[in-house]
Amino acid sequence: MDFLNKSIPAFLYRKSNQIWMIVFAALFALVFINIYNPFGIDAWSEDFIRKAHISETSSNFLFVVFSSIVVLIGFLIVAVSRITMHYLLKKRTITIGGYILWVLGEVLVMSLTFTGVTMAFKMQDDTWLAITNSLKNTSLVLLLPYSFCIVVFALQEKNMQIKRLAGIRTERAMAQGLVSFYDERGELRLSVRHDHLLLLEAADNYVCVWYLSNGEPKKIMVRNSLKRLSGHLDGSGIIRCHRSYMVNIDQVKVVRREKDGAMLDLGIEGVPAIPISQTYNESVTKWLTSSNSPE
C-alpha cells in the first residue's frame, strides 16, 4: 500500500507528456473505432446513409466523420480532465493511488458520455447493454494507450537520468584530469588521464577507445554510441572529426592533406591516421588554430 501513497513520477504530469498522451490516445481511439466498431456506429451510420440515399464513397467518408465526432467528444473530456490535473498539481501533489482513481474517473465519465451518445442516436436500444459496452470499450480505448505511453515515458526518463548521471560523473572526472567512459547502461567501463587518451573509433554498437599505457597504445571496446559519448565530452578537447572518429586534439602531431582529404596523424606507431570529413573540417580547424595560438 505504501506504493500507492507515493507521489506520481514527474514525467506523468510533465506538460509535453500530457499532450502526447492525449494525442496518442485519441489517434488510437480513432483507429480502434474504425476497425472494431465498438459503439455500433457502423449500423447506425448505415441506417442513416440508406435513408438518405447516399453513395458508397460518401458513406465511407461519413463513417469516418461519425467516428471522429465520437472520438472528439470523448477526448474533449480527457483534455479538460488533464488541464484540471495540471493546475491541481501546482497546488498539491497527487499520489499514485490518486492518479489511478483519476484515470478510472476519466474512463467512467467518458463511458457514460458514449452511452448518452449511443442512446441519443439510437445506436443501441438496451440501456444496460449500452452502459456495459461503453465501459468495456472505453477502458480499452484509454487504458491501452495510457499504459503504452507510461512505459515509453518511464524509459525516456530512465535514459535521461543515466545521461545526467554520466554527465555529472564525466565533469567530476575531468576536474581530476580524467576522462571516464560509461556504457549504454550508465556503468563505468574506463577512466583515462586526459593526456593519455588518443582517439575514439565507432565500431557498430561499440566505441573503441584508444589510449596510452606505459607508453604503448592500447584499446578497449565500450558498448555505447559515438554520438552519445560526444555529448558527454563537449568542451573537453576531444572532438568529432569524422562520422566514425573523435580525437584528442592535444595528441595531434601532424595534419596532412591527401588526395582523399585531410588526415590527422598522432605520430604514434600502431595508431592509425584519422580522416577529417568535410562536415567537421571547419570545427577541427578552429580547434587546431585555438590550441596552437600563443597565450
- pLDDT of 202: 92
Q: Band of the pLDDT at 150, cuts 50, 70, 90? A: very high
The arithmetic mean of pLDDT across residues 2-8, rounded, is 83
Determine contact, residues 232/170, Cβ cutoff 8 Å: yes
- Give the separation between CA 175 and CA 201, rounded to whole angstroms: 24
Flag the least confident range among 60-74, 75-89, 133-147, 182-196. Answer: 60-74
13 pLDDT higher than 50 = yes
Flag the least confident range among 61-70, 202-211, 215-224, 271-280. Answer: 61-70
Percent of the chain with pLDDT over 90: 17
User: pLDDT tens-digit profile of 207-262?
Assistant: 999 999 888 999 999 999 988 888 778 777 888 999 999 999 889 898 888 777 78
Q: Which residues contact 20 (CB under 8 A, 6 or more apart)?
A: 149
Kind and range of the H or E run holding 245: strand 245-248
Among 100, 233, 261, 256, which Cα is nearest to 167's? 233
96 pLDDT higher than 60 = yes
265 pLDDT higher than 70 = yes
- pLDDT of 113: 81
